[in-house]
Amino acid sequence: MPVPTSERLLAYVILIAMAALVLAPVLAGSITAFKPQIIWVSSPPTWIFEPTLENFEFVFFTRKGWQYLRNSLIISFGSVAMALMLGVPAAYAFARFRFRGSKALMQWLISLRMIPPIVVGLPFYAMFLYLERGLGIGLRDTFPGLIITYQTFLLPLVIWMMRGYFAELPAAMEESAMVEGYTRMGALLRVVLPVVWPGIVATAILNFIFAWNEFFLALILAGNRTSTLPMTAGTYIVRTRVEWGNLFAVNLLIMAPVIVLTVILRRQLVKGLTFGILE
């Protein structure tokens, strides 16, 4: 049924208004990131100026932003890689096998997503201290420490999402490969994973965003060596003033990788998020 032009127009007006509401502060902030310090907080705001990269230079080099960016990348990619390696096979098992307690285990996994980070953050801190003092295993302020901790929140998401993708596929797909001379693992790798690939990409991106934005656990468990970008954003708000230009420059640094990743993989992402709907 064709939608009348007037209705379509109305829909666009509403959508644009909503987008503007959400994006306007982001846009205003992003513009500030390119302002020279002298007009960060001029009133009324200055909209016409010669853009400068001095804020970026400052946060990136003077305040060691490149280190935090590196840390964030290592921790985020590391966490996602680990979550996929453990979570994808687990999700497959949940989708295909019934075993004692499998349902309860799935419920428990989703309940992990409902816990506020502080509930796990402090026990993790205590455990890390104990490991360090008792057994000499240092995990505090290390990349493995954070990557392991993040699994608490990433693994349930991976398992729940991927189980959905696996469950959509007819079991006959692997069974056919198994009769044709492959082990179940072989069938999974050669037949099933290529089919659910868009789902893996979508899962990876959502998990990456979580790990990338994570602030609280990093605040407790990271230290000088492993501080992440979101942690540094706070350092531009001090008691006496807010360094608006620098703060927004960091914000852009935080947003950029997620936007770039999403744009590059947008086809797979859409395919993954609408998996099974179109067919």
CB of 161 to another protein, least distance (A): 20
Nearest distance, CB of residue 189 and another protein, angstroms:
12
Residues 10-49 that bind another protein (CB under 8 A): none
| Residue 134 or 194 with smaller CB distance to another protein | 194
Q: Report the nearest approach of another protein to the CB of residue 45 (Å).
A: 53
Please select the residue that binds another protein; options are 24, 119, 179, 264, rule is CB under 8 A. Answer: 179
Residue in 176, 241, 267, 274 binding another protein, rule: CB under 8 A = 176
User: How near is the Cβ of 267 to another protein at its closest, in Å?
Assistant: 15
- Should residue 102 be labelled a site residue for another protein when binding is judged by CB under 8 A? no
The answer to whether 73 contacts another protein (rule: CB under 8 A) is no
- The CA–CA distances, whole Å, from 229 to 34, 48, 207, 234 equal 19, 29, 17, 9
Residue 172 binds to another protein (criterion: CB under 8 A) = yes
What radius of gyration do the chain's Cα atoms show? 23
| By CB under 8 A, residue 93 contacts another protein | no
Q: Taking CB under 8 A as the rule, does residue 180 contact another protein? A: yes
The correct pick among 183, 241, 242, 259 for binding another protein (CB under 8 A) is 183
Report if residue 170 touches another protein, rule: CB under 8 A.
Answer: yes
Nearer to another protein, 13 or 179 (CB): 179
Question: Which of these segments, 108-116, 143-151, 185-193, 257-265, binds another protein (CB under 8 A)?
Answer: 185-193
- Tell me, letter by letter, the H, E, C secondary structure of the chain: CCCCHHHHHHHHHHHHHHHHHHHHHHHHHHHHCCCCHHHCCCCCCCCCCCCCCHHHHHHHHHCCHHHHHHHHHHHHHHHHHHHHHHHHHHHHHHHHCCCCCHHHHHHHHHHHCCCCHHHHHHHHHHHHHHHHHHHCCCCCCCHHHHHHHHHHHHHHHHHHHHHHHHHHCCCHHHHHHHHCCCCHHHHHHHHHHHHHHHHHHHHHHHHHHHHHHCCHHHHHHCCCCCCCHHHHHHHHECCCCECHHHHHHHHHHHHHHHHHHHHHCHHHHHHHHCCCCCC
Strand partners, 237: 242
Nearest Cα to 233, choosing from 249, 217, 218? 249
Q: Does 98 bind another protein (CB under 8 A)?
A: yes
194 binds another protein (CB under 8 A): yes
186 binds another protein (CB under 8 A): yes
Interface pick for another protein out of 182, 216, 235, 271 (rule CB under 8 A): 182
Q: Would you count residue 191 as binding another protein (CB under 8 A)?
A: yes
- Residue from the set 106, 178, 220, 252 that interacts with another protein by CB under 8 A: 178
Residues 6+ apart with CB under 8 A from 224: 141
Can residue 134 be called a binding residue for another protein (CB under 8 A)?
A: no
Question: Residues in the site for another protein, rule: CB under 8 A?
Answer: 98, 170, 172-173, 175-183, 186, 190-191, 194-195
